[in-house]
Structure 1
């Protein structure tokens, strides 16, 4: 027997004697400090004991039998000489005595018989104690609580259960739960679930302490409701004693969950809950997961570190970790932008907002947040930054480089007016022409932002000769060594060749020889001038670069933009004659 059972058996053997019970009742009820005299006890026992006994006989029994028995059980201590008794309350004994007030006649008779069937007596006491303890507790619980005996009869149910069923507590108590199946409140499948659940919990092969079930109920005079029930066995070492259950109405909760699921599925991004580890192990991930990443949601939930080790761009992982941890240290939300690598290897930009989930202390239990794609927005931002930088450079040119030729023209015109010498007007004309050239170059650079759309096949030799005529080349010579046709925008290709020819003449001299010829996949423009120093060859295509420190140049920047717009590449090297050689090579989309 367990220690609890031994204590119960001892208490029951003491309480089996009515005089013992009456003595304890007297000490419990008739004394204020737990101390009573023999006379007080004798009077109380005599008035409550049914047998006709002389008070002296009661005194003898009290002195020699009752009090020694109670003292052996450590319930009292008495002084024979002073004939006083001090009571030592025992919670178990008190609990049993109070329980008897709610027992039926058969149960109460258990205490008046010799305690031969100790197990039955203990079971009776435990049952009444349990129900009495539960009755007060369950009424304070908002969820429905019920207790079924081993036959499936309802021993106890609170008002929440009654309300769910559309009945009163009196209509529920003492009814087999199968009654509600017959009445149509529950579906018949609940009986199969209950029996299978009990077998599962009782089986030694299963470590199952609780089972859960969700079903629809049809209360009396009320719409159907969705309820969730949790069932457990009643604690006992003597076999099956019944079950204890909790039931709650989850109708509104499930409705909200469905609405939330629909909302999440329609969000333009990902909703997640993850652990605060560098791999960001996902506990929950929903939304446009596959659309954004190329991976299924199961990939992140099953492979705990996949999000951090595969999805986040390697160059951004450190910054993401630092930003999140900094926010968590301050218990603040975080907003971050970073790149991801999709399953197909595509780089995308995403924006994420999240926060830590904290239990009762400062420990971070998890992270919850939302991720959405911002690739288009980032591209627009980068394009805007590039345009702003270009405008800044244009403004600098307009305020400095364009002012120089205009100042020259203005000064020469003033001199011509003052001296009446017309040659000053030639210098003014050259200054104005240079200003117009700069303006044309600025407009050309701006126009290069437009994508190439209309292309056609153009004979390279023919367009080279045409461009040569459009550039002033008094003593220069053109040599063509080409017989291919190029798929290009005619106007843009003409501007490219004219700028290369003009650049050769300006830097190679008036008598320079310019050669245009074929490459394996492209063409080249070379001259026999002074060439471009090795250290300057990577800078020549930068906006406003020039070897002339007094003036800005846009010719090579224009050339670079035209080649990029066509999907070509341009490089500069040294020609066979020691001058400059510009090589334009075609991309994979170029057709010849």
Structure 2
């Protein structure tokens, strides 16, 4: 009924209870169905109760033939002020009343949202929602009743499922769709919606019933699976590594293009063959046992050798994992060509062997003659007084210093490097005591702890201290302090010309007459061995400043003004 109380729609069951044809009651005011003495009570009691939510009870009605009938009567209002009136025969026993109660309770306690809409009213408004629907959408019942379901739609609701719903309603047909809906607080959710028409005994439609279920988790999982599948397919297709998938017997089920190209076969030629036909380094019995005992989702890494179509072989690093792919037991092998890596490894071994031979020569073959010459020079000083002795001693000392620097440089970055927490304050004082500092001054402005090889860190500081004294003079002040990600060593000397920044860490480069050119190269090598970074800067007051970052790989040589 409209706000003015006139009947706008009724179904055939309502009309039959009162003895009318449906068309006879359309446009009639509800007052004509009641006795005059009952109308005031309806205005004063029933309608206010309906406005507060719902009124339910028994009412006496005047039928078309002017006889009276007592009917079960329910009244409720929609948001637009329309009055909804439902009639039914009164319950004749407790069992029937219990049955109705059970049905209503079952709908209210159903695990999915349930709505009823009135297809005969304008815009097919909602006339009933259960508690699960309000939980699902966040709307209260009085915010929903009288509205079309489209209020749940929003910006990301696709037109295709909406059109499918609209067409099914127009055709009075059941339909199921999944679409984006929006809750009262604006959050999105995936709604699995099933609607169906409900017909009366005469085959006329009375209501649409809708079932709504939040399937956001399922849809999110499906989207993640699709995305993951797309990434895996892209990886399989475009991976720079060779990929083969085989079963528990080693029979190849699939290969990527890289595998075919690298081995010189087509995919069809590889699929169906046993992987052991191409892995010349594998033992068949051990391989079968290994596959049998390999747990699912437990990656393994080992090396092998694959034979190409032309008979040549390629060394590979194999990453193998056992997976359940769509219910099938499969092994995925990613084979990486390590031929170049092996060449580099062999080259490094040869370089290390040469370095060991060099270290041996410097340590024994060169150091021993120097020590012998120094001993003889001491005897010569006792026997005679010559102006040449001082020059000989200076040359021998320089040769000894150069030998020690070369040995230090060769040992920096050794695999046996032992890292530990080291106190900068403690090691700085220790290093200052081992360097000839003359009238120089050390200022320590840090109590930082660093993780480093203690001996190599001493080499770093000792060489930076010597460099400062050699280039800034005997009265230099050397300061060691903290930066945001490391520490710095600076002096108050003349600084380093910009033109020398690119060369200063190179082995053999020096501007001092008696320098070996290895001091700062040793510093750079220690930094590299620890995966740190070093930068040359300049104090705002002048002087050289070396900043060591503990959190960067490589060695950065830049020029910047540091306040």
- Bigger proportion of residues as helix: 1
> TM-score, normalization: structure 2?
0.36
> TM-score, normalization: structure 1?
0.35
